[in-house]
Amino acid sequence: MTDTNALFQPLHQACAALGTRLFTLSILDPEAGVSRRAYTSHPAEYPAGGTKPMTHDDWHENCIVRRITFVANTPAEFEKVFFDHALITSMGLASACNIPVADAEDEVRMTVNLLAGAGHFTAEKLAAYHALVAEHRPALLAGLAG
């Protein structure tokens, strides 16, 4: 059995070094209609194994179907799509980013979820995060089987 924490922790640490304060990885399970948290930096608030329903809204169309990174640099921008926005802001977090990760068939299988302070996800930071996710993509995809 694969130790997914060992696979996922290096990306978490690299993202934290860029200023990410909450880091989770969600694996999509379309058959069950949920996304399942595979890794978390905050197990009390967002435990690994937790699920949320996959809704086919604008976020899903853009991030999952079209593979476009979701960015919200203020709570007003993410409260429309995150049902848990009150918990997020209560943790002092005010910006969010979801980076889709596709498999060899170009199907999005997971998202890298990053949260930080207001205005965190600048063009320069997004480029750095995208480079990190690309660098760690083999480990992320290996963790799908874990």
Domain that holds residue 69: 4-144
> Which position has the token pair 């990410």?
20
Question: pLDDT by residue (tens digit) across 78-107?
Answer: 999 999 999 999 999 999 999 999 998 999
Q: Using the 8-state DSSP alphabet, how is residue 138 labeled?
A: H
Whole-number pLDDT of residue 4: 78
Split into its structural domains, the chain has a count of: 1
Q: pTM for this one? A: 0.95
CATH code of 119's domain: 3.30.450.40
d(CA 129, CA 133): 6
